[in-house]
Structure 1
Amino acid sequence: MPIQIDIPNLGCSTFTAQNTKGGRFFGRNFDLSYSPAALVKTTPKDGYASMSMVNLGFLGYDKEKLPESFFKSILTLAAPYIPLDGINEKGLSIGVLLIPTEETNQQTDKVDITTTTAIRMILDKCATVEEAVAMLKQYDMHSSANSCYHFQIADASGDSVVVEYINNEMKLVEPKDSYQAATNFLLTPGDYDFGKGQDRYATLMNTLKEKNGVVSQEEAMKLLESVKQDWHKTEDGSMSATQWSVVYDLENLSARISMGMDFDDIYEISLLEK
């Protein structure tokens, strides 16, 4: 299919925490211009079932062009290959966030992959954070859309990591507590902490610290609401805001989703439901 996947200047927030019943949550805000979205479930024959959020705007859809008929929906067949966050049947969850710096472009003799390809592979093949990191190390990363990104990955055991690429070298940021967060600046120690979203990061970390890293289902969504971005003009002149907020339950394999900052109307979806 002749598809040009363009990932523009997105700004996002993620966090992982323990829930009040002993399981784990992975929270994610996706911030961008208007983004018609789809929750995509996949059940590969040789991999794990998963569900992931996809911005259909990357496939050319917008307010005037939506997949409302058979012919208009053909391009959505590519949706499984552009996930931006998700969870699989093993309770592994992942989200990608923009870093406003030079694109990652690793050049060794390893097989080449891109940002969304990496997310698809991890959801399909990895059950733990350790397995996800080991998989990423096997490939040369080439960032999508001439940008740099980092990933936050968490699993049902409570393990979490932020994977970053600095000067084309993979760096791992381990949590110092039972919770972890990421926004749009590098977390690797050193002279790398440029970017944006430090205010959102502080809100996430301070709130989680106050709660000892334990939040209820409702508190997890409230935390995402506290770091939502209202409509504002970005550096490139486009308008941006939080397009979706999702809390993945890594034990019950479910997602609670708010679209367009409507936190009064929450969709609850289970991976295991047909």
Structure 2
Amino acid sequence: MDYTKDYYGSDVIDALKKDGFIDTGCSTFFTHNPDGEPITCRNYDYAHRVSQEDSTITGLNIVLHCKPEGKYESIAMADAVWCDETNPLLQRGGPDMPGFDTGLIDIIPYECMGGINEKGLCVSILRVDIKKGDQPARYPIGSSMLLRYMLDDCANVTEAVKKVDTAIVTPEDWQDCHIYVTDADGDYAVIESRNSEVSVIRSDVVTNFYLTYDDIEDSYKNGKLREQAVMITDENGESEYSVGYGHGYHRFITIASQLESHRDTASEEYRTVMPESVALVVLQSAAQNPYTKASGISMTQYSAIYNNEKKSLEVWPFQNYQTSYAFDVRGTRIH
């Protein structure tokens, strides 16, 4: 979908203040393909329901192409249901439903879960659980707004990190999510805010718990243990990843352990290498399905692989790993 409206204008921003909201589970990792091209791999997890009466899982994910004047061109994966989660036209099929109007999704540039721009900067947002006693995010759409500003204005990870200090939204606005940024030079970083304190950490895996803090309590929800944390160690018992624990830790371990087996031993610096087909298998291993108790508590709506060098996106919808759709940064369908 080509978005041609001015999403920096007052009409869209006013609608965003009224209706903007996102929630997002997700797992993301960074690696290289055998040609040396950086690739960013991501599952988007959320179990939308048709209605309170109908618990059937639904979703409306749109590949969104944006080219605002004076800013970078980009494509992104947007969850259109978040434009109005109570609207049956969005819950039941969107553009395929009689009476659908594109005005229903005017705020969709700010409902993107991940995207890549013409410079090869890829940005993803992933939910973190706010602990009791911590500051909540002030703005329910703040994290996806920051994602949009980074895609529009930043060429690489360094610029994206600096954007945190200059964007309209402040760390207090978006601290219910952390931001994963990668670029065409092979750089990557996780940006997170907790109680207004911003941290930047290098990690090639991200799920849904703070990476900067060691909080076993994060694995609890409503007083019940969600996941048992088991730390990855090397042969000497030393921690392989200096991170915390919490929601998504099992997915983190699942991905990190597979990345370890794909280390590029010829490289002086740490990096991993795998074909896109293998990266897709890694994403599958971390996919969530609420119908299967062993697979998680959410629903993987799609898996996506962004090629930072080619500035392209390939997406597999609703765990159908036999069918994919690929696009370049101009929004043109490749296959």
- Same-fold call, TM cutoff 0.5: yes
Specify the code of the residue in structure 1 equivalent to 2:276.
Q
Cα distance in 2 between the residues matched to 1:195 and 1:6: 23
Unaligned runs of 5+ in 2: 1-10, 48-57, 217-243, 264-271
Matched, 1:181 2:205: yes
Matched, 1:198 2:232: no
| Structure 1 residue 208, shift from structure 2 partner | 0.9
| Structure 1 residue 125, shift from structure 2 partner | 0.5
Specify the code of the residue in structure 2 equivalent to 1:44.
P
CA contact (8 A) 1:104 1:165 kept: no
1:77 to 98, 106, 112: 106
| Structure 1 residue 258, shift from structure 2 partner | 0.6
Cα distance in 1 between the residues matched to 2:149 and 2:331: 22
- Superposed, 1:231-270 pairs within 5 Å as 231-232=290-291, 240-270=298-328
Cα distance in 2 between the residues matched to 1:273 and 1:51: 6
Cα distance in 2 between the residues matched to 1:138 and 1:232: 43
1:27 to 25, 32, 41: 41
| Structure 1 residue 217, shift from structure 2 partner | 1.4
- Give the structure 1 partner of residue 63 of structure 2: 39
CA contact (8 A) 1:99 1:149 kept: yes
Cα distance in 2 between the residues matched to 1:81 and 1:149: 14
Encode CA deviations 1:215-249: one digit per residue, 9 max, x unaligned: 11111111111100012599xxxx73100110000
Q: Which moved more, 1:189-198 or 1:34-43?
A: 189-198
Q: Which moved more, 1:242-251 or 1:264-273?
A: 264-273
CA contact (8 A) 1:143 1:149 kept: no
Q: What is the SS of the residue equivalent to 1:205?
A: helix
Cα distance in 2 between the residues matched to 1:200 and 1:190: 17
Whichever of the two has the greater Rg, that structure is 2
- Give the structure 2 partner of residue 152 of structure 1: 180
Assess, with a 3 A threshold, how the Cα gap between structure 1 residues 269 and 256 changes in structure 2: closer, same or farther.
same
Specify the code of the residue in structure 2 equivalent to 1:15.
F
Of structures 1 and 2, the one with the larger relative CO (CA 8 A, separation 6+) is 1
CA contact (8 A) 1:87 1:94 kept: yes
| Structure 1 residue 124, shift from structure 2 partner | 0.4
Matched, 1:5 2:20: yes
Encode CA deviations 1:117-170: one digit per residue, 9 max, x unaligned: 1001000010110000001122413446xx711111100101100111122110
CA contact (8 A) 2:172 2:196 kept: no
| Structure 1 residue 6, shift from structure 2 partner | 2.4
Assess, with a 3 A threshold, how the Cα gap between structure 1 residues 189 and 195 changes in structure 2: closer, same or farther.
closer
Q: Which moved more, 1:87-96 or 1:30-39?
A: 30-39
- Give the structure 2 partner of residue 87 of structure 1: 116
RMSD: 2.3
Name the structure with the higher strand share: 1
Specify the code of the residue in structure 1 equivalent to 2:117.
N
- Give the structure 2 partner of residue 219 of structure 1: 278
Cα distance in 1 between the residues matched to 2:207 and 2:156: 22
Specify the code of the residue in structure 2 equivalent to 1:230.
N
Unaligned runs of 5+ in 1: 107-112
CA contact (8 A) 1:17 1:24 kept: yes
